[in-house]
Amino acid sequence: MFLARGAAFWLNTESVGIGHDLYNRLSAYELALGSTGLTATALLLLGALLAGYVLGHHTRFGRNLLAIGGNEQSALLMGLPIGPTKIGVYALNGGCAALAGIVATLYTGSGNPSMGIGLELDAIAIVVIGGTLLTGGRGHVAGTLLGILIFGTIQAAILFDGRLSPWWMRIVVSALLLGFILIQRFLVRGLARR
């Protein structure tokens, strides 16, 4: 991550506008649904959620991934392909990061090397709020969607108020993340005692 970010700053430290016809058409695209419509970025979100759901919950790769996250040693003893699954998940992660970069450039109409700095904690907070265990072995795409909605609501409420500094968002997200981690720890301990 730091290597790619450094390379981006080496290429250009300023925001660069994108004036390509394809980008202009994609950023202006809207699928009409009655009196409202879905933008290209919203359609990409829905497509990514659907693909993540199918891949994570209805394929061998997804089941292997949950097993490895739950207990890698047990997964190895069960004969699951640990190495290829790890390589696959890192490749998938890189593809999702590239898709996020494309969506960000569609949304802003520019490429900015400093965009995305500090979003790592936000991504972790969203999936933890959605019920994914940091220790691994449990998670659901629908829970992550719920985490996005809760996170977005909190962010909108803080920014809409206008009296609070944007740093309050980081404080609230950090406190929320700590709270959900503690809840998960107590739930996992309670299940282990049964």
The neighbouring-strand residues paired with 8 are none
Of 57, 18, 26, which is closest to residue 140 (Cα–Cα)? Answer: 57
How confident is the prediction for the chain on average, in pLDDT?
84
Supply the pLDDT for residue 16. Answer: 83
Q: Strand, helix or coil at 16?
A: strand
pLDDT of amino acid 175: 84
Q: Residue 78 in contact with residue 66, Cβ under 8 Å? A: no
- How many Å apart are CA 128 and CA 187, to the nearest integer? 13
pLDDT for position 194: 63
What are 53-70's pLDDT values in tens digits?
999 889 999 999 888 988
pLDDT band at 90 (very low <50, low <70, confident <90, very high): very high
Confidence tier at 50 by pLDDT (50, 70, 90): very high
Residue 193: pLDDT band with limits 50, 70, 90: low
**Stated pTM of the model:** 0.77
CB contact at 8 A, 143 and 126: no
What is the per-residue pLDDT for 55? 93
Average pLDDT (42-46) is 91
Write the pLDDT tens digit of every residue in 132-182: 877 777 788 888 899 889 888 888 887 777 777 777 777 877 887 788 778
